[in-house]
Homo-oligomer: A and B are copies of this chain.
């Protein structure tokens, strides 16, 4: 990879001063994300204003130097790894909450604000921004928007794309664009703001976002339902989603996940209340106020009942709720204990196809002679399929890698798609032609060219070469 043109280096050093990083030790910090891939950028820019972003993009475009936008690098797909070199633009100094407008149920933020910091600032106003990835404390709103991040509460409140009103962004052509308006309805021309959400920094760099906020429900209560098998749990998911009380969260764990979580909890002095034989578990959350919550819980409990239900536990209070959620929370540490290597996917299928997906994953596990477990956001049909292996074992590693295309083929055959909330990045880029037809992919490339005529924004990501 060639180093930066000297003229560009001087120009951007003058523009950014100490916010233009060229030392290798500094650049290394921005070389990787949660995908564990690594590529050291030629420089790192920490702009403080949209004017700096605009000047930077124009300068880089003139020299055809790649630009990779970065929040905090929590994504799992390699979307922020600068594989083509160039400049990483980290938005850590553009982290202001510019306005909270409770009457308009919106907030105006810079892209670098942390999701968790935003939620804390909104809480006194009785509002929240729905996307709640597990990395919420460490990830930025700009990164959430770039990846269309979701989380457990997306089943009721939507993912990032459902919670955006307006964006200001700098395209790869060096144009400052204003998309949408701070209103919950709009039919004024093409919807560019939702197109930018999920585009992984390949079309434009977001410099300001107007977020749609939702009133914070004052109370939550959890139900834990254990089922004989996945089919019984999936039928319950369909019943839960077909009645008018939408669950605030509807999380699924397959039998192997229940077993692993139970073992992990037993080893740590808990988990005795979890039956060993359950084939599937659902965590069902209701939210609301003190008066409506009992009715909501009752409606959800009623929908959870049915053929194959082994046990239904209702949390009486927050402590009991935490006990019920313990199994779900124990899962990630439990998975780490059984394998060093983990391919964590987030495929999504229509809710009715969950049993076939899980059965197919179990068959794939047998055929691959590897543990493969499924859990996640059942109300959206969005399952985290984790292929577990020992990276020190070449044969296991090869089998794990070979299982991945089979998982995607299964998902697509069930009418699903590659990613529900992680995005494509590098990791799934080469599977795009299986998920998207050639004319549709060709059109995506043409849109990319309209926004970024020289292909300088996050090259090599999302679209296959």
Which residues of A are at the interface with B, using a C-beta cutoff of 8 A?
Answer: 101-106, 126-127, 147-148, 150, 154-155, 159, 161-162, 171, 175-179, 181-192, 194-195, 197-199, 203, 215-218, 238, 241-246, 287-289, 291-292, 295-296, 298-299, 346, 348-352, 377, 379-382, 415-424, 428, 432, 435-437, 439-444, 446-451, 462-463
Nearest residue (CB) in B for A150 is B185
A102, A150, A417: residue with the most chain B Cβ atoms closer than 10 Å: A417
Please name the residue on chain B nearest to A239 by beta carbon: B103
Contact B186 A197, beta carbon cutoff 8 Å: no
Number of copies: 2
* Residue from B101, B346, B416 in contact with A352 in the complex, judged by beta carbons closer than 8 Å: B101
**Are B419's CB and A187's CB within 8 A?**
yes
Complexed CA–CA distance, A247 and B279 (Å): 40
Q: State whether A242 touches B186 (Cβ < 8 A).
A: no
Contacts of A238 in B (CB 8 A): 102-103
Q: Could you tell me if B184 and A440 are in contact, using CB atoms closer than 8 angstroms?
A: no
Pairs A–B under 8 Å by Cβ, sample size 16: A104-B352, A126-B243, A148-B186, A148-B187, A150-B185, A154-B185, A171-B439, A177-B439, A185-B382, A187-B419, A189-B441, A190-B195, A190-B199, A190-B203, A443-B450, A446-B450
Q: Which of B154, B185, B439, B450 contacts A380 (CB 8 A)?
A: B185
Distance in angstroms from A293 CB to nearest chain B CB is 10
Query: In the complex the two chains form, what is the Cα distance from A90 to B436 in whole Å?
Result: 28
Evaluate contact between A187 and B147: CB separation under 8 angstroms.
Answer: yes
Query: What B residues does A183 contact at CB under 8 A?
Result: 348-350, 380-382, 415-417, 420
* Docked complex Cα distance between A105 and B171 (Å): 36
Cβ-neighbour of A421 out of B187, B296, B420 (below 8 A): B187
Residues of B with C-beta under 8 A to A161: 191, 194
Q: Which of A218, A437, A443 has the most chain B CB atoms closer than 10 A to its own CB?
A: A443
* CB nearest to A287 among chain B residues: B244
A422 to B185 Cα, complex, angstroms: 11
| Closest CB in chain B relative to A421 CB, distance in Å | 6
Contacts of A432 in B (CB 8 A): 188-189
Measured between beta carbons, the chain B residues less than 8 angstroms from A185 are 150, 154, 159, 348, 377, 380-382, 420-421
Closest chain-B Cβ to A405's Cβ sits at a distance in Å of 15
Q: Which of A188, A190, A203, A351 has the most CB of B within 10 A?
A: A190
B106 A175 Cβ-Cβ under 8 A: no
Please, how many angstroms separate the alpha-carbon atoms of A186 and B181 in the complex? 24
Q: Report whether B348 and A181 are in contact in the complex, using a CB–CB cutoff of 8 Å.
A: yes
Residues of chain B within 8 A of A191, CB atoms compared: 148, 161, 194-195, 197-198
Query: A289 to chain B: which residues have CB within 8 Å?
Result: 244-245, 295, 299
A406 CA / B253 CA spacing, docked (Å): 58
- Decide: A242 near B103, CB < 8 A? Known: A183-B381, A416-B183: yes
Residue of B whose beta carbon sits closest to that of A288? B244
* Residues of chain B contacted by A150 (CB below 8 angstroms): 185
A244 contact set on B, CB distance < 8 A: 215-218, 287-289
18 new A-B contacts at CB < 8 Å, known A188-B424, A450-B450: A102-B238, A103-B241, A103-B351, A161-B191, A175-B443, A177-B440, A181-B415, A182-B350, A183-B350, A185-B348, A185-B381, A189-B444, A189-B463, A190-B199, A191-B194, A191-B195, A215-B242, A215-B244
**Which single residue of chain B is at the shortest CB-CB distance from A216?**
B244
